[in-house]
Chains A and B, each alone.
Chain A
Amino acid sequence: MKVDERVCNALVLFGMLALPLWALAQDEPFTITLVTRAVILALAAVGLNIVLGFGGMVSFGHAMFFGIGGYAMGILAYHAQTYMPLDLGLFTFEGTKSMPVIWLVAMVVSAMIALLVGLLSLRTSGVYFIMITLAFGQMFFYFAISWAAYGGEDGLSIYVRNDFPGLNTLVPIQFFGVCFAILCVVLFLVARLRASPFGLALNAARQSGVRVETMGLDPMRIKLVAFILSGAITGLAGALFADLNRFVSPSMFSWQLSGELIVLIIIGGVGRLMGPVIGACVFVALEHALGGLTDFWHIYLGVILLCIVLFARGGLIGLLTGKESAHV
């Protein structure tokens, strides 16, 4: 049975919206939190997919942006909740509990770090790129562990979820709504981006840098811009993830998380718009279902992942639509 990719995409988004609403009717807040987790992981992987899927750059350090977003939220909210202004030398900042401000800071800081990391990493390619992004991720991980001012290894707890104007974000379904709306907006923008001249150039840069250069474009620059956009989106997801748990810790920077983000994309399908979203849903569902069955659920996850790599190239979307590659 072959399914049209657009139908498939619409069904997934519909399911993601319907499940929490059903859970709300059944009064099962845990399910709503679970879906919110899937939505946020999906957002992080959508960011990574710009680099990994569209641009063909395998970044093994995207947890770095996830963590930066998380810590942006943690630090701002920590200063607001302890009433200790953040001293930035030239001026002091009170900290904030306002989500939009936190999101903006998370995205801007992630983008700036992505600019620096991208400038250095994009000098390399292939395996070296994988390894250097991994190394940058580890650098942040160890920095967060030894940063005693913000909890070091123990991380930071934020007592009350941050505010969004007009909503009570502590109600699970309202927070879910915020996250889901962001995911939809980002997906829409990424779809537009992919079809834009920039997206086409990025696709070309993935296939052949030399050809892009002969067209008068600078492939490095295109890849760098993609890396920055990708970092900003993953950073935003990090801020939301921190708000979901009301907790940030160095584990948000861990290389396992970078690996999991790659896993999400591959489960769904590399370079597909909705690949990361489907991957995140499946991953969270597996984690929950297998985790309830046995303590050793990682074994089954491992076996499933192996089967996907060995037998289902193109991920689940590839399997459903009967097209192995996302790129025509």
Chain B
Amino acid sequence: MSSILIIEQILNGLQFGVMLFLMAAGLTLIFGVMGLINLAHGSLYMVGAFATAAVAGATGSFLLGLIAAMVAAALAGAIIEMVVIRRLYKAPHLDQVLATFALILIFSEGTRWLFGSFPLFLDIPDVISGPVTLPGGIAYPIYRLTLIAVGLAVAIGLWLLIERTRIGIQIRAGENDREMIAALGVDISKLYTLVFALGAALAGLAGGLVGAIQSVQIGMGEPVLILAFVVIVIGGIGSVRGAFVGALLVGLTDTLGGVFLPEFFKLFMETGAAQKTGSAISSMSVYVLMGIVLIWRPTGLFGARS
């Protein structure tokens, strides 16, 4: 267990964490402002990944692909908001879960219909492929570092948007009191569509970025969606700051747990059994983390106290 390995794993955990943040930020905004549980958020992630694969494949430009991902996901988001989601804001959570579950089915099968069942692969542009040597002699893929940088940049941008702009004021006001900001003359339904499209664009961006290191396939959104839910529950639903802290916690726990728990069990078990027990427990570690947080603070780390 060298320090190089540890640093590498921490970077991997950070990379995973910031990508989860892109997903979780949209989810938590949508829940905070509109009070909606959006299971279809994973589908928007998938839409982004497929749009990147299609456009990057046709034009040869990864950057154009990413722009296409955000545009396609934002469009898809705006359309489902106007056609379906809008009718669900006042519905009980149960109806929201079911309707967005139905949207997942429609999106997944629709994508299968358009692109077929086989996974697509995305090439990383030459400039950012290959490893870079970090101080301390650690060779680490540039692309993953880029992901961390993009994720952090989006986090800062989102913070500026929410804290420093007029739209941000409206979003924060919308979280506190919908009727009041409607009474102040803000077009609330436009604001809702905008927030939904913004969240969708972030999910699409995450899909396009992660699609390049994994394969782009049907159903890729659901595992990420569930983890993003874990993130926002840990962070406190509605809190973007909570989503950021939660995402890093979950990313690091998941990555480091997978590497270090088997090692930990080797201290007092035979190697084979330790490997099995360690990997079994590490695959559950994120959910154990969430359980502990919720038992300690039933509304998450940064959630509103009721």
Chain A residues close to B by CB (< 8 Å): 52, 58, 60, 120, 123-124, 126-128, 130-132, 134-136, 138-139, 142-143, 145-148, 255-256, 259, 262-263, 266, 270, 296-299, 301-303, 305-306, 308-310, 313
B140 interface residue per 8 A CB criterion: no
Closest 6 CB pairs of A and B: A302-B105, A305-B102, A142-B283, A302-B106, A146-B280, A139-B287
- Shortest CB distance B40–A (Å): 10
B193 interface residue per 8 A CB criterion: no
CA distance A306 to B263 in the complex (A): 48
Across-interface contacts of A120 in B (CB, < 8 A): 291, 294-295
Across-interface contacts of A262 in B (CB, < 8 A): 94, 97-98, 101
- Shortest CB distance B88–A (Å): 8
Minimal Cβ-Cβ distance residue in B for A130:
B93
Minimal Cβ-Cβ distance residue in A for B113:
A296
Across-interface contacts of B97 in A (CB, < 8 A): 58, 60, 130, 259, 262
- Shortest CB distance B149–A (Å): 30
Across-interface contacts of A142 in B (CB, < 8 A): 280, 283-284, 287
Inter-subunit contact A128/B233 (CB<8 Å)? yes
- Shortest CB distance B202–A (Å): 20
Inter-subunit contact A303/B106 (CB<8 Å)? yes
Inter-subunit contact B101/A305 (CB<8 Å)? yes
B79 interface residue per 8 A CB criterion: no
Inter-subunit contact B280/A127 (CB<8 Å)? no
Across-interface contacts of B84 in A (CB, < 8 A): 306, 310
Across-interface contacts of A143 in B (CB, < 8 A): 280, 283-284
Knowing that A131-B233, A262-B101, A299-B105 are A-B contacts, what are 17 other residue pairs whose CB atoms are under 8 Å apart, sorted by A's residue number?
A120-B291, A120-B294, A124-B294, A131-B229, A135-B287, A142-B280, A142-B284, A147-B280, A296-B109, A296-B113, A298-B108, A301-B105, A302-B103, A305-B101, A305-B102, A305-B105, A306-B102
Minimal Cβ-Cβ distance residue in A for B101:
A259
Q: A147-B280, A299-B110 are in contact. Are A135 and B98 (CB under 8 A)?
A: no
CA distance A138 to B254 in the complex (A): 14
B51 interface residue per 8 A CB criterion: no
Minimal Cβ-Cβ distance residue in B for A53:
B94
Inter-subunit contact A305/B291 (CB<8 Å)? no
B169 interface residue per 8 A CB criterion: no
Across-interface contacts of A139 in B (CB, < 8 A): 284, 287-288, 291
Inter-subunit contact A148/B276 (CB<8 Å)? yes
Across-interface contacts of A310 in B (CB, < 8 A): 84, 87, 99
CA distance A266 to B100 in the complex (A): 13
Inter-subunit contact A255/B226 (CB<8 Å)? yes
Across-interface contacts of B37 in A (CB, < 8 A): 127, 130
B168 interface residue per 8 A CB criterion: no
- Shortest CB distance A9–B (Å): 22
Q: Dominant SS at the B interface?
A: helix
B215 interface residue per 8 A CB criterion: no
Q: List 13 A-B pairs, Cβ < 8 Å.
A: A60-B97, A124-B299, A127-B37, A127-B237, A128-B300, A131-B229, A132-B290, A142-B284, A262-B98, A266-B94, A297-B109, A302-B104, A306-B99
- Shortest CB distance A271–B (Å): 11
Across-interface contacts of A266 in B (CB, < 8 A): 94-95, 98
CA distance A266 to B290 in the complex (A): 28
Inter-subunit contact B102/A302 (CB<8 Å)? yes
Among A134, A143, A145, A309, residue most surrounded by chain B Cβ atoms (within 10 Å): A309
CA distance A262 to B284 in the complex (A): 24
CA distance A55 to B256 in the complex (A): 39
Across-interface contacts of B243 in A (CB, < 8 A): none
Across-interface contacts of B294 in A (CB, < 8 A): 120, 123-124, 128, 132
CA distance A135 to B233 in the complex (A): 10
Across-interface contacts of B222 in A (CB, < 8 A): 255-256
B15 interface residue per 8 A CB criterion: no
Inter-subunit contact B99/A309 (CB<8 Å)? yes
CA distance A131 to B233 in the complex (A): 7
CA distance A298 to B299 in the complex (A): 35
Inter-subunit contact B295/A263 (CB<8 Å)? no
B167 interface residue per 8 A CB criterion: no
Among B95, B112, B276, B287, residue most surrounded by chain A Cβ atoms (within 10 Å): B287
- Shortest CB distance B35–A (Å): 9
Across-interface contacts of A298 in B (CB, < 8 A): 105-106, 108-109
Minimal Cβ-Cβ distance residue in B for A132:
B294
Among A126, A259, A297, residue most surrounded by chain B Cβ atoms (within 10 Å): A259
CA distance A303 to B101 in the complex (A): 11
Across-interface contacts of B180 in A (CB, < 8 A): none
CA distance A299 to B109 in the complex (A): 6
Q: A138-B287, A262-B97, A296-B112 are in contact. Are A124 and B103 (CB under 8 A)?
A: no
B279 interface residue per 8 A CB criterion: yes
Across-interface contacts of A303 in B (CB, < 8 A): 102, 106
Inter-subunit contact A146/B287 (CB<8 Å)? no
Bitwise interface map of B from 236 to 248 toward A, beta carbon under 8 Å scored 1, else 0? 0100000000000
- Shortest CB distance B80–A (Å): 10
- Shortest CB distance A95–B (Å): 22
Across-interface contacts of A60 in B (CB, < 8 A): 97
Minimal Cβ-Cβ distance residue in A for B92:
A58
Across-interface contacts of B288 in A (CB, < 8 A): 139
CA distance A301 to B105 in the complex (A): 8
